[in-house]
Amino acid sequence: MTDDRTKEPAKAGTKKGGKEVSNRELKSDVFTTLFSKPENAAKLYTALSGEEAAPEEIRITTLDGVLFLARKNDLGFTVKGRMLVISEHQSTVNENMPLRSALYYGRTMEKLLQDRNLYREKRLPIPTPEFYMFYNGRKEMPEEKVLKLSDGYIAKTREPMLELKVKLININLPTGHRLLQECLPLYEYSWFIERIRTYLQDGMDRDRAVTLAVQDSVREGIFADFVREHGTEVQNMLYTQFNMDDALEVRYEEGVEDGMERGIRQGMERGMERGERRLLVHQVCGKLQKGEAPEKIAADLLTDREEIDRICRAYEECGPEEAAVLARLEE
């Protein structure tokens, strides 16, 4: 493609040395912003499931900063008794996506259930979860692939008691995946990203490539509504998005991923330990409110008496509020 355009739309940012510097602070990326609109989420669901859905049936459940720390590229919503969690990748495929999806699912269920009593005998109805990873990177990748949580298990079993599958779908325009034909917003998004990459391959710098792709979008009427609605913020999102994807790819190639995995394992261990303590505090506080003695509580819960006494002391100091008791124990 030739660069025959000279007028660039204004872009948000600050002046530094007389040069415009794009804003690097990102709230949501283009993918998440696009499909957080119920009408677009409904079209995506219809393409994935083959079942029609109306925008008013969509309930967005996206969490803040859970799957990735640097930018918000995940999307969650419920519709027709299902909960879809979708993440979009433009760098390397992260083999830990099933694990991250499991953590995301737990957080989302906490948000959906909130104060509903998990300890009552009657079964709570919960939406059926589905997990997807939309790959839009530059490396060779099949049209579809399934990542499984059990692939990371240390002890392999024929039928693991807990399994979670993430379906990877390659949404690069050249793949021609059926979703690109059946979901217009997804096709237009992939077209837009492909146009930016074409300019980058032609030797343009990233900011110029993004600017020209935005101009192409408006002129050709593809992805134009989104560009007009969000204005220069689209450019801000893309500047950060492409910079972060490049950074993640470099980090992967340098082996920093090993450190990230170690951090995830340590974080999971700490999270599980804290979760167990929260459950124990909940049980002990409930029994103390019923007037049960510490020695009976320790026997009933098969827990060390010293640990029960620590919780009892915190209960006496802080009162029946479980959060206050837990906070005191963690001091």
- Provide the residue ranges of all domains of the chain, joining segments of one domain with +: 13-114+121-254, 274-329
pLDDT score for 182: 96
| 3-class DSSP state of 246 | helix
Output the pLDDT for position 11: 37
Whole-model pTM above 0.75?
A: no
- Please name every residue paired with 77 in a beta bridge, in sequence order, or none if there are none: 60, 84
- Predicted pLDDT at 127: 93
Please tell me the distance from the alpha carbon of residue 135 to that of residue 132, in angstroms, as a whole number.
Answer: 10
CA dihedral defined by 151, 274, 103, 110, rounded to 10 degrees? Answer: 140
List the chain pLDDT tens, one digit each, 331 residues: 444 443 333 333 333 333 333 333 334 588 888 999 999 999 999 999 999 999 999 999 988 654 444 445 688 999 999 999 998 876 667 888 999 899 889 888 888 887 667 777 888 889 999 999 999 888 889 999 999 999 999 999 999 999 999 999 999 999 999 999 999 999 999 999 999 989 989 999 888 888 899 999 999 999 999 998 887 777 777 766 665 555 445 444 444 455 555 665 666 556 556 667 777 888 888 889 889 999 888 887 778 888 899 999 999 988 888 888 888 888 7
Q: How far is Cα 179 from Cα 183, in angstroms, rounded to an integer? A: 6
User: Which residues make beta-bridge pairs with 134?
Assistant: 88, 169
Tokens encoding 187: 């096709």
User: Could you tell me which residues come within 8 angstroms of residue 235 by beta carbon, excluding any fewer than 6 positions away?
Assistant: 9, 11, 12, 22, 210, 211, 214
Q: CA 304 to CA 280: how far, in whole Å?
A: 11
CA 59 remoteness from chain centre = 16
